[in-house]
C-alpha cells in the first residue's frame, strides 16, 4: 500500500510515528511518503535550518528529544553559550550542539550545489526514518508574518513564533519565494499515485498551508483516486498544543474542528474530529441544500495523542477511515 502524507513538525511527526506503528500492528506492507513543510526554514549563523524536516527525521529515526518534541535527545548547549558570550545573536533560537551537525552537513551540501531533496535523502541515510521524506520544494519558501504593531512590519515566522510566542496579533502569512517555487521531485506523483492520503493534525495555516500553496498540490489532492483523510488539530475549540489559534485568528477562521475542516474542505474526503466536536462539525460541513450529499464525511474519535500508543490508535483510526473500515457518520 502506498501512503502519502503532508506534515509540519511535532504534531505531524508524532502522528506519523503512530502511523508506522499502526501499519506494523496490522501487518500491512506500506511505502509511506511524507511531504514536509519547509516554510519554517531559516538561516541562522550562516546555517540552513529546516525545523520540520529535522523534527520528522529525528522523531521517526529515534533521535528526538521526547520531552520537547523537537531537537536531538541528550543535547547540550555549548555552542549556543559560546555564541552568547560573543553577543552573536539571535539568542531566541537555540541550536543544540548535536543538532548543529545536521545543519552543518546540510549547509555544506547545499553550498556544493545539492538540492534540498538530495540533502534530505543523504541525512536520512543516517536516520532511516522508515518513510520517504521529501521537502515540499527544493526552492526556498519562507513563511513571514505581517504583525499588527505600530510599524506594521513582516517578520520571519520563527521570530513571531519562537521569540514572540505568537503574542503579537498577526494579519497574514505571506510565503516569500512562493512565486519561484514548485513541488520537489516526487511530491505530486506521490499524491496522485497513493492508495491513501493522510493529513496529520499539523498546524493548518503555517504547516499544511505552505505545502498546499505550491502549484499543483491542491489539484493533485482533489484529483487523486486515493481517499484523503484529515485529522483535526483542534479539540473543543482549542488547539491541542502550540499556537495555531493565533494563526487561525489572523485568517478569521474559528479555532474549531469545523473551522479548520472548512479550510481543507476542497481536498478532504473525510475529516477525523474529536467525539465532542462531531455534531457541530458535521452540521457545519454538510451543505444545507444537499444534506444527503456532504462532500466531507465526518468521523468522531478520541483525538488526543497522550503517548506513543495513543498516536498508534489515532493513526490506525485514520487509516481505517481511509480504507472504509470505520463507519461513516455524515454524508458519504
Ligand atoms: P509544528 O510544525 O512543530 O508546529 O508541528 P505541526 O504543525 O505538525 O503540529 C502542530 C499541531 O499539532 C498543533 O496545531 C496542535 O494542535 C496539533 N497537535 C499536537 N498534539 C496533538 C494531539 O495529541 N492530537 C491532535 N489531534 N492534534 C495535536
Ligand atoms: Ca513547524
Q: Give me the CATH number covering residue 215.
A: 3.40.50.10680
Residues 168 and 193 in one domain: no
Strand stretches in 167-224, DSSP E:
170-172, 175-176, 196-199
Does residue 332 fall inside a structural domain?
no
Among the candidates 176, 198, 221, a domain finishes at 176
As for ligand 1, residues whose beta carbon falls within 6 Å of it are: 7-12, 52, 55, 201-203, 207, 231-233, 239-242, 244, 303-305
**Domain-located, residue 136:** no
Can you give the pLDDT at residue 328?
Answer: 59
Burial of 204 (0-12, 13-18, 19+ CB in 10 A): buried
Ligand 1 atom showing the smallest separation from residue 240 Cα: 16
Are 219 and 183 in contact, with CB atoms under 8 Å apart? no
C-alpha cell at 265: 474542505
109 located within any domain: no
Same domain, 190 and 315: yes
| 239, 307: one domain | yes
User: Which atom of ligand 1 is least distant from the CA of 208?
Assistant: 7
Is position 283 within any domain? Answer: yes
Residues 217 and 279 placed together within one structural domain of the fold: yes
- Could you tell me the residue range of the domain that residue 216 belongs to? 2-39+186-327
Model pTM?
A: 0.95
- Residue 298 sits in the same domain as residue 207: yes
**Cβ atoms of residues 326 and 317 within 8 Å:** yes
Best substitution site from 38, 231, 242, 278 to test ligand 1's pocket, by max atoms within 8 Å of Cβ? 242
Q: Are residues 166 and 214 in the same domain?
A: no
Neighbours of 62 (CB within 10 A): 12
Residue 75 maps to a domain: no
Q: Are 36 and 53 in contact (CB under 8 A)?
A: yes
Most informative mutation of 202, 273, 306, 310 for ligand 1 (most atoms within 8 A of CB):
202
For 43, the grid coordinates are: 538561516
- Burial class, 326, CB count within 10 angstroms (exposed 0-12 / middle 13-18 / buried 19+): buried
117 inside domain: no
Same-domain pairing of 166 and 211: no
- Give average pLDDT by consecutive 10-residue segment, the chain, 332 residues: 97 98 96 98 96 98 97 97 93 93 98 98 98 98 90 88 89 96 98 98 97 98 96 92 89 96 96 96 86 83 96 98 77 42
Claim to verify: residue 196 and residue 286 sit in the same structural domain: yes
Query: Is the domain of 146 the same as that of 193?
Result: no
Task: Mark whether 166 and 236 lie in a shared domain.
Answer: no
Rounded to the nearest angstrom, the distance between the alpha carbon of 206 and the centre of ligand 2 is 7
Which bound ligand lies closest to the C-alpha atom of 240? 1
Nearest CA to ligand 1 atom 26: 233
Query: Are the C-beta atoms of 142 and 175 separated by less than 8 Å?
Result: yes
In the reported structure, the alpha carbon of residue 329 is separated from the centroid of ligand 2 by a whole-number distance in angstroms of 31
* Nearest ligand (C-alpha, residue 207): 1
Q: 254 with 279, same domain?
A: yes
How many independent structural domains does the chain possess?
2
Q: Is position 59 within any domain?
A: no
Q: Is residue 35 part of a domain?
A: yes
Q: Does one domain contain both 191 and 318?
A: yes
pLDDT value of position 293: 67
Measure the CA–CA gap between 322 and 224, rounded to whole angstroms: 13
The pLDDT, as a whole number, for residue 325 is: 79
Return the ligand number nearest the Cα of 42. Answer: 2
Q: What is the pLDDT of residue 157?
A: 93
Cell 500500500, residue located? 1
Amino acid at each position: 500500500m502506498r501512503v502519502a502524507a503532508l506534515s509540519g513538525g511535532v504534531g505531524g511527526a508524532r502522528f506519523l510515528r503512530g502511523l508506522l506503528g499502526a501499519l506494523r500492528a496490522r501487518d500491512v506492507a506500506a511505502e509511506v511518503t511524507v511531504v514536509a513543510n519547509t516554510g519554517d526554514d531559516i538561516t541562522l549563523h550562516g546555517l540552513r535550518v529546516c525545523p520540520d524536516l529535522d523534527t520528522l527525521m529525528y522523531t521517526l529515526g529515534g533521535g528526538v528529544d521526547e520531552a520537547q518534541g523537537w531537537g536531538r535527545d541528550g543535547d547540550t548547549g555549548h555552542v549556543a553559550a559560546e555564541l552568547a558570550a560573543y553577543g552573536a545573536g539571535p539568542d531566541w533560537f537555540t541550536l543544540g550542539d548535536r543538532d548543529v551537525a545536521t545543519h552543518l552537513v546540510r549547509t555544506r551540501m547545499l553550498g556544493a550545489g545539492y538540492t534540498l531533496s538530495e540533502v534530505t535523502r543523504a541525512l536520512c541515510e543516517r536516520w532511516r526514518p522508515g518513510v520517504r521524506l521529501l521537502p515540499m520544494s527544493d526552492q526556498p519558501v519562507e513563511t513571514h508574518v505581517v504583525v499588527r504593531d505600530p510599524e506594521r512590519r513582516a517578520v520571519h515566522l520563527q521570530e513571531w513564533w519562537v521569540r514572540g510566542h505568537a503574542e503579537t496579533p498577526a494579519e497574514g502569512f505571506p510565503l516569500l519565494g512562493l512565486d519561484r517555487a514548485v513541488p520537489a521531485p516526487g511530491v505530486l506523483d506521490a499524491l496522485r499515485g497513493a492508495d491513501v492520503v493522510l493529513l496529520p493534525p499539523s498546524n493548518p495555516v503555517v504547516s499544511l498551508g505552505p505545502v498546499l500553496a505550491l502549484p499543483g498540490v491542491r489539484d493533485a489532492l482533489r484529483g487523486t483516486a486515493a481517499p484523503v483523510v484529515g485529522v483535526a488539530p483542534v479539540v473543543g475549540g482549542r488547539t491541542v498544543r502550540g499556537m495555531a489559534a493565533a494563526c487561525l485568528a489572523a485568517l478569521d477562521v474559528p479555532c474549531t474542528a469545523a473551522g479548520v475542516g472548512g479550510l481543507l474542505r476542497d481536498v478532504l474526503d473525510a475529516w477525523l474530529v474529536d467525539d465532542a466536536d462531531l455534531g457541530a462539525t458535521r452540521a457545519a460541513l454538510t451543505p444545507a441544500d444537499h444534506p444527503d450529499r456532504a462532500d466531507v464525511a465526518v468521523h468522531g474519535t478520541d483525538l488526543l495523542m497522550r503517548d506513543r500508543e495513543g498516536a498508534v490508535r489515532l493513526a490506525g483510526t485514520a487509516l481505517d477511515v481511509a480504507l472504509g473500515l470505520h463507519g461513516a457518520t455524515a454524508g458519504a
